[in-house]
């Protein structure tokens, strides 16, 4: 029987190692030789990798002018609010990791959106007590208090070089918004695809469409004067210009007009938070990533740690054996996510227990090497005592070894689709990431429980996973991606591809990806996997479906001699690495 041959193959190629750390010393990041099929961009004095090349170049220019990685990241973040309006933002939120080379310190900045003070547990339930997804996705009830401006300002004030004022870092974004920018193929296409949603809102339509409802053609010029004025106000008065006064009033009014409950007081009381990163190890490397309310860091570490007991290289990259092991570790990590993860300011998240090595080895030993698990048979583990495809990510490293890994979002493409009139700011619909009711999936199919229930001033759980990888205390990789629920699986795969299969960042970024998230009961394979691999996986009991290209991984590897090797995901037109 074919199933018996598959089982024998898996047992032979991926036997469980009871002492996984024995493999750690042999696993190192690859040396870029120049003989690879895909080649990264190289630079010596600094690099920015983002989803939009003009924003990358703005960050690069700041590095050239004496800024550090944080300065460049802040400039890039504000620029993306102009050049990549579907995901770059002032009206959303996200997470930033900062590594300071001089002190070897890594800081996590949580600028995730919060629920308004008037939010309630049952705000997304209809009159019959059932979850109504339209309330969290298509109305102002889905809009969280935005954190991006506060988060970027905090990063600049606390960790910037001191060579640039906040106004100087915002200046390039102001120029692009006020003077207009040339519309790329990617921007024209995305506005065309989103036109049905965006044209419902006159305040949005007047900025991005002509009188006939057509998106601007590639090569034409697009100005965003209201956004330019908002950026100018922030440049002149700091983040207070966004969170207090006229801009805040306009945002709150727009949210309430769309059915929400946000007030200007909600904006004025918003604060980003400094948190301790979550840390784990994988084959001799230290993985440092975002803690809750991002679930990303914990589950990237969980997936990698469960994989550590298997010889992935022997199984062959993206073979049925390899994909089966990835799938089974992901099932278990996402099951834990649904049960234990939430805003740590509101619930007790057992971080240490979730990444405990003995716990994860025990979870890995429940994997059947011959057949797929049924998700119904997998639940969150018994602990030892103790996010949208339209997100965006950028990575920065400077000449001194300081680094930033930043992921931020509006949730859906263009968020709620509504621009707060007179501000140029798209409103997010990020509160859809709450669990409207236990067991009810969000827009990305992720299931949550009471730990991630809506509540006043609470941050919804996220999958965003900005990540650093260190070897012997030295920074080796800065990485991250958008992709909704797939962020976690893509980040883990990229790290494993570089550590286990000796890929350079360009090869890892281009490699076909798979995804499983416990529920729904589907193994997604991106185009690029062989038909034979898909058939073998189906024979093992996996429900295989084709997954369209997703994600926009932005990775920068630091080589042994300090040379930087960066790669932007080829799946997204217009992305780019800028170095010097």
pLDDT at residue 549, as a whole number: 72
Run of H or E including 322? helix 320-340
pLDDT at residue 294 above 80? yes
Burial of 172 (0-12, 13-18, 19+ CB in 10 A): buried
For strands 285-289 and 41-43, give the pairing: unpaired
Alpha helices for 347-423 (secondary structure H): 351-354, 357-364
pTM score, whole prediction: 0.91
CB-facing half-sphere around the CA of 458: CA atoms within 13 A: 26
CA distance 154 to 109: 8
Confidence bin at 387 (pLDDT 50/70/90): very low
Architecture of domain 277-389+463-579: 4-Layer Sandwich (3.60)
What's the confidence (pLDDT) of residue 441?
60
Through-space distance between the first and last CA atoms of the chain, rounded to whole angstroms? 57
Is the pLDDT at 12 greater than 50? The verdict is: no
Tokens encoding 120: 């309630």
Helices (H), 99-200: 133-137, 148-159, 166-179, 185-193, 195-198
User: Domain residue spans in the chain?
Assistant: 43-274+391-435, 277-389+463-579
pLDDT digits (tens, 9 = 90+) for 321-378: 999 999 999 998 988 888 888 889 998 999 999 999 999 999 999 998 888 887 776 6
Model confidence at 83: pLDDT above 60: yes
Higher pLDDT, 397 or 580: 397
The Cα–Cα gap between 497 and 141 comes to: 40
Q: Distance between CA atoms of 64 and 43, rounded to whole angstroms?
A: 12
Tell me what the pLDDT averaged over the chain comes to.
89
Residue 36 reports pLDDT greater than 80:
no
Is the pLDDT at 14 greater than 80, yes or no?
Answer: no
Q: Which residues of 490-506 are buried (b: 16+ CB within 10 A; e: fewer)?
A: bbbbbbbbbbbbbbbbb
Burial class, 348, CB count within 10 angstroms (exposed 0-12 / middle 13-18 / buried 19+) = exposed
Give CA–CA dist 48/568, Å, rounded. 10
The two most distant CA atoms of the chain are separated, in Å, by 72
Task: Give catalytic residues, as residue numbers.
Answer: 391
Beta strands 105-111 and 523-526, pairing class: unpaired
Grade residue 451 by pLDDT with cuts at 50, 70 and 90: confident
Residue 212 pLDDT > 50, yes or no?
yes
pLDDT tens column, 545-560: 987 777 889 999 999 8
Please tell me the distance from the alpha carbon of residue 57 to that of residue 441, in angstroms, as a whole number: 39
User: Rounded to an integer, what distance in angstroms lies between the CA atom of residue 453 and that of residue 293?
Assistant: 12
DSSP 25: G
CA 363/CA 254 separation, integer angstroms: 47
Which of these, 412, 442, 394, lies nearest to 86 by C-alpha position?
Answer: 412
Evaluate whether 176 touches 187 at the Cβ level (below 8 Å): no
CA distance 410 to 198: 14
């Amino acid at each position: 029987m074919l199933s018996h041959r598959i089982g024998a193959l898996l047992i032979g190629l991926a036997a469980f190692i009871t002492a996984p750390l024995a493999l750690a010393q042999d696993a190192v990041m690859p040396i870029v030789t120049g003989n690879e099929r895909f080649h990264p961009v190289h630079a010596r004095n600094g690099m920015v990798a983002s989803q939009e090349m003009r924003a990358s170049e703005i960050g690069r220019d700041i590095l050239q002018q004496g800024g550090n990685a944080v300065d460049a990241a802040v400039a890039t973040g504000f620029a993306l609010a102009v050049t990549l309006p579907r995901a770059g933002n002032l009206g959303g939120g996200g997470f930033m990791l900062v590594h300071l080379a001089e002190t070897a310190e890594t800081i996590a900045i949580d600028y995730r959106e919060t629920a308004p003070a008037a939010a309630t547990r049952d705000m997304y339930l209809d009159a019959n007590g059932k979850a109504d997804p339209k309330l969290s996705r298509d109305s102002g009830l889905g809009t969280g208090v935005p954190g991006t401006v506060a988060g970027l300002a905090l990063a600049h004030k606390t960790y910037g070089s001191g060579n640039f004022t906040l106004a100087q870092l915002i200046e390039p974004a102001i120029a692009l918004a006020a003077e207009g920018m040339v519309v790329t193929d990617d921007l024209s296409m995305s506005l065309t695809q989103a036109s049905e949603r965006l044209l419902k809102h006159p305040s949005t339509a007047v900025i991005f469409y002509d009188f006939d409802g057509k998106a601007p053609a590639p090569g034409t010029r697009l100005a965003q004067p209201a956004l330019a004025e908002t950026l100018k106000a922030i440049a002149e008065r700091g983040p207070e210009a966004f969170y207090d006064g006229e801009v805040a009033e306009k945002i709150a009014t727009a949210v309430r007009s769309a059915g929400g409950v946000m007030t200007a007081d909600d904006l004025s009381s918003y604060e980003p938070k400094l948190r301790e990163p979550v840390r784990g190890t994988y084959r001799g490397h230290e993985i440092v990533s975002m803690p809750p309310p991002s679930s990303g860091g914990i589950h990237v570490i969980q997936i990698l740690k469960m994989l550590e007991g298997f010889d992935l290289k022997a199984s062959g990259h993206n073979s049925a054996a390899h994909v089966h092991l990835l799938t089974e570790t992901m099932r278990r990590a996402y099951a834990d996510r649904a049960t234990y993860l939430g805003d740590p300011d509101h619930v007790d998240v057992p971080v240490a227990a979730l990444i405990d090595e003995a716990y994860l080895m025990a979870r890995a030993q429940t994997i059947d090497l011959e057949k797929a698990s049924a998700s119904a048979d997998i639940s969150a583990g018994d602990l030892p005592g103790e996010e949208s495809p339209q997100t965006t990510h950028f990575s920065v490293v400077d000449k001194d070894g300081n680094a930033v890994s930043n992921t931020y979002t509006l949730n859906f493409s263009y968020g709620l689709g509504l621009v707060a009139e007179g501000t140029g700011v798209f409103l997010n619909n990020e509160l859809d990431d709450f669990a409207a009711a236990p067991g009810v999936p969000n827009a990305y199919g992720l299931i949550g429980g009471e730990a991630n229930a809506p509540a006043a001033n609470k941050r919804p759980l996220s999958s965003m996973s900005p990540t650093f990888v260190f070897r012997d205390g030295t920074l080796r990789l800065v990485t991250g991606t958008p992709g909704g629920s797939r962020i976690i699986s893509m980040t883990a795969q990229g790290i494993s591809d570089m550590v286990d299969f000796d890929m350079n960042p360009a090869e890892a970024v281009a490699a076909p990806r798979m995804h499983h998230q416990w529920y729904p009961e589907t193994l997604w394979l991106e185009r690029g996997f062989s038909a034979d691999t898909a058939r073998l996986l189906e024979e093992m009991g996996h429900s295989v479906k084709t997954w369209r290209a997703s994600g926009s991984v932005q990775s920068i590897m630091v080589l042994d001699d300090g040379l930087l090797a960066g790669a932007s995901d080829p799946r997204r037109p217009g992305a780019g690495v800028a170095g010097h």
